Amino acid sequence: MKMVLEIPDDISAELDKKLGNVAGATLEALAAAAYARDVLSLEQVRRLLGLETEWQARAVLSRHDAWPVMSVEDFRADAAELGSFRRGA
């Protein structure tokens, strides 16, 4: 789906000045709000934002105070991944 937002020029200029990438900031805010309302999963947030890892998605969500909920399975998977990094180093 393609969306177009119309923002008045004066407001757009102010947003650009303070946020930089308005389109990116808007998409991040949408993803964080949807995640916080349990509409999107962490994996869906990652895909929506075009991020390579779930850790990057977690970082975006944390910037928006939408903290990822970790299940026991998530914790075990993260621990296993960290263990594999440690063994490889």
**Identity (one letter) of the amino acid at 48?**
L
- Is residue 31 within 8 A of residue 45, CB to CB? The reply is yes
Return the structure tokens found at 35: 């995640």
Among 33-37, 57-61, 77-81, the range scoring the smallest mean pLDDT is 77-81
Residue 12 DSSP symbol: H
16-57 confidence digits (pLDDT tens): 898 888 889 999 999 999 999 989 999 999 999 999 999 999
- Is the pTM here over 0.75, yes or no? no
Contacts of 18 (CB under 8 A, 6+ apart): none
Q: Give me the chain's average pLDDT, please.
A: 88
